[in-house]
Amino acid sequence: MTLVLEQLLNGLQFGVMLFLLAAGLTLIFGIMGVINLAHGSLYMVGAYASAFAAAQTGSVWLALLAGLAGAAIAGMVVEIVVLRRLYARNHLDQVLATFALILIFNQGVTILFGRQPLFVSVPPALNGSVQLLPGLTYPVYRLAIIAVGLLVALGLYLLINRTRIGMLVRAGATHREMVRALGVDIRLLYTAVFGLGALLAGLAGLMAGPILAVQVGMGEQILIMTFVVVVIGGVGSIRGAFFGALIVGLVDTSLRAFMPGLLRHVMTGPEADALGAGLASMGIYLLMAIVLLVRPKGLFPAHV
Amino acid sequence: MKLRGLLFGIAASLAATTAFAQAPVKIGMITTLSGPGGYLGQDIRDAFKLAIDMEGGKLGGVPVELMVEDDGLKPGQGKQIAEKMLKTDGIKIMTGIVFSNVAGATVPDIVDSGALYVSPNAAPSNFAGKECNENYFVIAWQNDSLHESAGQYATNLGYKKAFILAPNYQAGKDALTGFKRLFKGDVVGEVYTRLDQTDFAPEMAQIKAANPDVVFQFHPGGLGIAFMRQYQQAGLLGQVPMVLAAPSADSTTLKAVGDAALGANVTSHWNSDFDNPANKKFMEAWTKAYNRVPTYYASQGYDTALAIASALKATGGKADVPALRTALAKADFQSVRGAFKFGKNQHPVQDWYALKVEKGPDGAPILKTVGKVLSNHGDVYAKDCKL
Average pLDDT over residues A230-238: 88
Highest mean pLDDT out of A236-245, B237-246, B274-283:
B274-283
DSSP string, A233-272: H-TT-HHHHHHHHHHHHHHHHHHHHHHHHHHTTTS-HHHH
- The predicted structure's pLDDT at residue A160: 86
Biggest CA pair distance of chain B: 68
Distance from C-alpha of A285 to C-alpha of B342, rounded to nearest angstrom: 45
pLDDT band at A256 (very low <50, low <70, confident <90, very high): confident
Beta strands in chain A (DSSP E): 129-133, 136-139
Q: How long a stretch of residues is chain A?
A: 304
Interchain proximity A7–B202, CB inside 8 Å: yes
Distance from C-alpha of A5 to C-alpha of A9, rounded to nearest angstrom: 6
Q: Which of B119, B109, B218, B226 is CA-nearest to residue B169? A: B218
- What DSSP designation does B335 have? B
Interchain proximity B168–A142, CB inside 8 Å: no
- The predicted structure's pLDDT at residue B335: 95
Interchain proximity B173–A274, CB inside 8 Å: yes
Interchain proximity A213–B198, CB inside 8 Å: yes
Query: For the ranges A73-82, A132-141, B108-117, B173-182, which has the lowest average pLDDT?
Result: A132-141
Average pLDDT over residues A263-275: 76
Distance from C-alpha of B9 to C-alpha of B45, rounded to nearest angstrom: 13
Distance from C-alpha of B142 to C-alpha of B147, rounded to nearest angstrom: 10
- Of the partner residues B36, B199, B256, the one whose CB lies closest to the CB of residue A217: B36
- Of the partner residues B35, B226, B253, the one whose CB lies closest to the CB of residue A212: B226
- The predicted structure's pLDDT at residue B22: 67
**pLDDT greater than 70 at residue A304:** no
CA distance B243 to chain A (A): 21
Per-residue pLDDT tens over the stretch B157-173: 999 999 999 998 888 98
Phi, psi of B119 (to 5 degrees): -85, 125
Q: Name the A residues in 110-149 with CB < 8 Å from any B CB.
A: 110, 114-119, 121-122, 128-129, 137, 139, 141-142
Distance from C-alpha of B137 to C-alpha of B119, rounded to nearest angstrom: 6
Per-residue pLDDT tens over the stretch B318-339: 888 999 999 999 999 999 999 9
Query: Which is the CATH superfamily of the domain at B144-268+350-384?
Result: Response regulator (3.40.50.2300)
- The predicted structure's pLDDT at residue B18: 46
Q: Is B244 helix (H, G, I), strand (E, B) or coil?
A: strand
Average pLDDT over residues A111-135: 83
Question: Which carries the bigger pLDDT value, residue A175 or residue A94?
Answer: A94
Which CATH code is given to the segment(s) B2-141+274-342?
Answer: 3.40.50.2300
CA distance B315 to chain A (A): 37
- What are the C-alpha distances in Å from A51 to residues A44, A116, A119, A195? 10, 13, 7, 20
- The predicted structure's pLDDT at residue B183: 94
Distance from C-alpha of A17 to C-alpha of B180, rounded to nearest angstrom: 36
Chain A environment of B258 (Cβ under 8 Å) = 119, 121
pLDDT band at A103 (very low <50, low <70, confident <90, very high): very high
Q: What is the pTM assigned to this prediction?
A: 0.80
Count of other CB atoms within 10 angstroms of residue B291: 7
CA distance A152 to chain B (A): 21
- The predicted structure's pLDDT at residue B16: 47
Q: Are strands B214-217 and B161-167 parallel, antiparallel or unpaired?
A: parallel
Residue A246, CB-side half-sphere exposure with 13 Å CA sphere:
13
Q: Which amino acid is at B215?
A: V
A2-294 is classed in which CATH architecture? Answer: Orthogonal Bundle (1.10)
How far from the centroid of its chain's Cα atoms is residue B133's Cα?
19
User: A161 at the B interface (CB within 8 A)?
Assistant: no
Which among A17, A120, A251, A256 is the top mutation candidate for probing chain B, defined by the most B β-carbons within 10 Å of its own β-carbon?
A256
Mean pLDDT (chain B, rounded):
89
How far from the centroid of its chain's Cα atoms is residue B116's Cα?
18
Q: Which of B78, B140, B141 is CA-nearest to residue B110? A: B78
Instruction: Report the percentage of chain B scoring pLDDT > 70.
Output: 94
Fold match, B2-141+274-342 / B144-268+350-384: yes
**pLDDT greater than 50 at residue B17:** no
Which among B70, B199, B231, B239 is the top mutation candidate for probing chain A, defined by the most A β-carbons within 10 Å of its own β-carbon?
B199
Mean pLDDT (chain A, rounded):
88
Per-residue pLDDT tens over the stretch B68-88: 999 988 999 999 999 999 999
- Contact between B150 and B216 (Cβ < 8 Å): yes
Q: Name the A residues in 17-76 with CB < 8 Å from any B CB.
A: none
Which among A14, A211, A212 is the top mutation candidate for probing chain B, defined by the most B β-carbons within 10 Å of its own β-carbon?
A212
Per-residue pLDDT tens over the stretch A11-63: 999 999 999 999 989 888 878 888 889 999 999 999 999 999 998 998 889 99
Q: Which of B175, B167, B127, B186 is CA-nearest to residue B150? A: B175
- What DSSP designation does B384 have? G
Highest mean pLDDT out of A153-157, A268-272, B383-387:
A153-157
Phi, psi of B200 (to 5 degrees): -110, 15
Which among A7, A9, A10 is the top mutation candidate for probing chain B, defined by the most B β-carbons within 10 Å of its own β-carbon?
A10
- Contact between B32 and B40 (Cβ < 8 Å): yes
Q: Are strands B365-377 and B348-359 parallel, antiparallel or unpaired?
A: antiparallel
Average pLDDT over residues B133-150: 94
| Dihedral sign (CA A134, A139, A141, A143) | negative
Please report, for chain B, the start and end positions of each structural domain, with discontinuous segments joined by +.
2-141+274-342, 144-268+350-384
User: A273 at the B interface (CB within 8 A)?
Assistant: yes
Distance from C-alpha of A97 to C-alpha of B215, rounded to nearest angstrom: 45
pLDDT band at A165 (very low <50, low <70, confident <90, very high): confident
Instruction: Report the percentage of chain B scoring pLDDT > 90.
Output: 68
Interchain proximity A142–B201, CB inside 8 Å: yes
Interchain proximity A211–B193, CB inside 8 Å: no
Chain B environment of A123 (Cβ under 8 Å) = none
Question: Which carries the bigger pLDDT value, residue A131 or residue B269?
Answer: B269
Distance from C-alpha of A56 to C-alpha of A67, rounded to nearest angstrom: 13
Query: For the ranges A249-258, A273-282, A289-298, B110-119, which has the lowest average pLDDT?
Result: A273-282
- The predicted structure's pLDDT at residue B20: 47
- The predicted structure's pLDDT at residue B266: 94
Distance from C-alpha of B47 to C-alpha of B290, rounded to nearest angstrom: 10
Q: How long a stretch of residues is chain B?
A: 387
- What are the C-alpha distances in Å from A237 to residues A212, A232, A303? 28, 10, 8
CA distance A24 to chain B (A): 21
**pLDDT greater than 80 at residue B299:** yes
Average pLDDT over residues B269-281: 94
Which residue does chain A place closest to B208, by CA atoms? A3
Instruction: Report the percentage of chain A scoring pLDDT > 90.
Output: 46
- Contact between A6 and A136 (Cβ < 8 Å): yes
Q: Which of B30, B25, B46 is CA-nearest to residue B300? A: B46
- The predicted structure's pLDDT at residue A276: 80
Helix axes A91-113, A39-57, angle to 10 degrees: 20
Q: Which amino acid is at B176?
A: L
Chain A environment of B251 (Cβ under 8 Å) = none
Chain B environment of A128 (Cβ under 8 Å) = 235
Distance from C-alpha of B26 to C-alpha of B28, rounded to nearest angstrom: 6
